[in-house]
Amino acid sequence: MPTDPGVGEANRERTPGPEHAPAAGSAPGSNRLPAPVSDPSALRWQPLDPASTPAWSALHNLLARVERTEEFYSAEDLAEELDEPGFDAARDSWAAWEGDGLIAYGQLRLAAELLDGRWCQAYLDGGVHPDWRGRGIGARLMDRMEARARELAAQRHPGATLRLRVSGRLDGDPVRPLLAHRGYRVARYFTDMRRPLPGDDLGPVDVRVQPYRPELAERVRLAHNDAFATHWGSTAQTVEAWRDRLASRTFRPDVATVVLDGGGDVLAYVLTYQWVEGELYVGQVGTRQRARGQGLARACLTESLRAAAGSGRYRLVDLAVDSANPTGAGALYESVGFAATRTVANYLRDEEPPSG
């Protein structure tokens, strides 16, 4: 992800392919469900809703252990997703049930803005319980999500090329053959990185850096859109989407940081979140294009790490970086003590709009 070398966005994008878990019995602490039905078409399909979030959380966290992604979400975290701007849970989500057991789930999101004025990006996210793999449920989820993506793209961005994006997870994940069979290709790799706290000494305090304040939210959004204007796959954040992001229960403003210029504009920033007890997630790191080369992103990151360590609430800090970033984000993160833990593939497929 583009950096100063310090412009980066470590989005916790939960976009696992919909049939991606190893065979039954391989998941530690696996939640056992009834034996698979002989006909998967007998499963009960309905949208995700607030009442389903405990079962959804349990399934997602099981898959996080199985797939070694360590992306854990509480029911409360997932409930927030049902109310995100531009997402209609009744039409853009799916849950497959056998009795009271959640077998599979899927979600579809469409980017609010076109990428480079041409591509309408759709993000497909889903999972199938390990004990129910190999029965075509993942393919059924993909069919539903792709069809809905086409419908939404035609409504919101008529004439645009549809770009379907799905995570291929870690190397060897069984979702990858499924995606390849459906015409997807690897487009990018993202590396997860981790740093312990307090960890190595962070050096002297950088006086250019200030704590984040709520009144800076819009100025940070404008800086973010400028910083990511040339970043692979990035589209501008709308006012509504940005407000929703910073209103999340997971946002941790007390350890977020900014650098301002003399006129009060944000030049660089670090935004932080928490999903897991004792673990901080660096979600966005950015520097305006005109301010790069001054070490501002590194300064913000260092001061956020210092604040997190000083709070006593965190023992680990995580982030993710575009492995093909041309501006050195990976080197930046390594320079402040982060080390790579895993690499995830991002798959995509483009579809031209129907002619006529």
Strands 279-287 and 316-322: parallel
Token pair belonging to 311: 């709070």
Token pair belonging to 7: 């412009």
Q: Say what angle helices 239-246 and 217-227 make with each other, to 10 degrees.
A: 120
Asked whether the whole model's pTM tops 0.75, one would answer: yes
Cα separation of 126 and 18, whole Å?
Answer: 4
- Looking at domain 40-189+347-351, its CATH superfamily turns out to be Gcn5-related N-acetyltransferase (GNAT) (3.40.630.30)
- Residue boundaries of the structural domains of the chain: 40-189+347-351, 193-343
Q: Which of 206, 323, 326, 348 is nearest to 270 (CA)?
A: 206
Q: Is 193-343 the same fold as 40-189+347-351?
A: yes
Are the C-beta atoms of residues 16 and 126 closer than 8 Å to each other?
Answer: yes
Q: Which of 230, 301, 221 is nearest to 265 (CA)?
A: 221
DSSP string, 247-275: TSTTB-GGG-EEEE-TTS-EEEEEEEEEE
Are the C-beta atoms of residues 314 and 197 closer than 8 Å to each other?
Answer: yes
Cα separation of 281 and 313, whole Å?
Answer: 13
| 4 contacts: CB under 8 Å, gap ≥ 6 | 268, 287, 291, 292, 293, 294, 295, 296, 297, 298, 327, 332
Token pair belonging to 2: 């583009």
Q: In the beta sheet, which residues pair with residue 286? A: 269
Are the C-beta atoms of residues 168 and 346 closer than 8 Å to each other?
Answer: yes
Q: Strand, coil or helix: what is 50?
A: helix
User: Under CATH, which architecture does the 193-343 domain have?
Assistant: 3-Layer(aba) Sandwich (3.40)
Can you give the pLDDT of all 356 residues of the chain as single tens digits? 233 323 344 444 433 333 322 222 233 334 555 555 556 778 999 999 999 999 999 999 999 999 888 889 999 999 999 999 999 999 999 999 999 999 999 999 999 999 999 999 999 999 999 999 889 999 999 999 999 999 999 999 999 999 999 999 998 888 999 999 999 999 999 999 999 999 999 999 999 999 999 999 999 999 999 999 989 999 999 999 999 999 999 999 999 999 999 999 999 999 999 999 999 999 999 999 999 999 999 999 999 999 999 999 999 999 999 987 645 578 889 999 999 999 999 999 999 987 65
What is the identity of the amino acid at 244? D
